[in-house]
Structures are given as structure tokens and as C-alpha cells.
Amino acid sequence: MSLTLPLIIQSEAPQKPEEIHDFVISFTDLLCKHIKFLEAKVLANIKLILIEYCTNALKHVANEVNIIQAEFDNQILQLKKIDKAPKFKMGNLILSQDILRNYSFIELDAHSFQFVLKQEYQQKEILLIPEHFGFEIVIRASKKFTYSYQEDTKENIFCATLTF
């Protein structure tokens, strides 16, 4: 049996903190059934991203449906968190001085930007990250991490891209 690409797997994010562990295990097990060559490091990064997406959904948009989606095609895996919360604005990120210390943003267009770890922090230990570490976890665990807002559907899409 051959795999038809792209492969898309999606599920609603858990509604309770105690459901996150089982969700991540089930989601990664399903991915591993279809993508046979996932290395241990890549699988660990996938789990970190999924945990952060689920935690973010519970913390910031618990009253909204949050979709977790994996799309695999040609050695590229995109892990997405999709919600219909109000449009994410960079100005809302400034919760304290430390949140912008380690990373910055590159505007891709009027509704999209990429999170980038600042050069001087790329080689530092993960234990040295600031208090607001969710974005940094995903940045470090992925090759590329972006945000886009779909005006037509009113959806926020956070997308972590992994290559292997």
C-alpha cells in the first residue's frame, strides 16, 4: 500500500489539561503509522510543539475550537494550530521586557509574520529562555515558525515546519 501525499491528519485540541498527554501520544502514534522514518529527535520536537499548541489553546482560547493539524509532503511536516480567536497582534505580545529578548518577528505580509530566534540566542541552552517561553519552544523545535491570519475564514494559523 502506498501513501497518498499530502497526508493530512487533524483533530480538535483537548479541552482539559489532563487530556494533553493522551492527545499527544495518540496524535504522534498516528503520525508514526504513516511516516515510518521519524527519528527520535524529530519525534521529540513534534511532541514539544504539540504540547505547546495544546497548552496555548487552553491558556488563551479555551472557549474556542482549536484544531491541531499535521500535513506531510515531500519530507516536510507542517504542524498547525488553527483557531477563530481574535486576530493575533504583535503589540499584544509585550507582556514584559523578557518576551522580546530572545526572538523577533519578520513581517511576511499584512496578515502574516515569522518568529525568529535572535542570532545571539541561537546556541544558548534551552534552560536560559525567558519566562514567556511558549513561542521559543516552538521556534527551537522547528525549522520555521509562522503565524498567519486568514481574513476570509477569520482563522489564526500558527505553523511549525519540520524537515527531514
The CATH number of the domain where 139 resides is what? 3.30.565.10
CA dist 136 → 25, 61, 96, 104, 157 (Å): 22, 19, 15, 10, 17
Q: Note down the domain range covering 130.
A: 2-163
pLDDT in tens, the chain (164 residues): 456 789 999 999 999 999 999 999 999 999 999 988 889 999 999 999 999 999 989 987 777 889 999 999 989 999 999 998 887 765 444 333 344 556 677 778 878 878 777 765 555 555 554 545 788 889 889 999 999 999 999 999 999 999 98
Q: How many distinct structural domains can be found in the chain?
A: 1
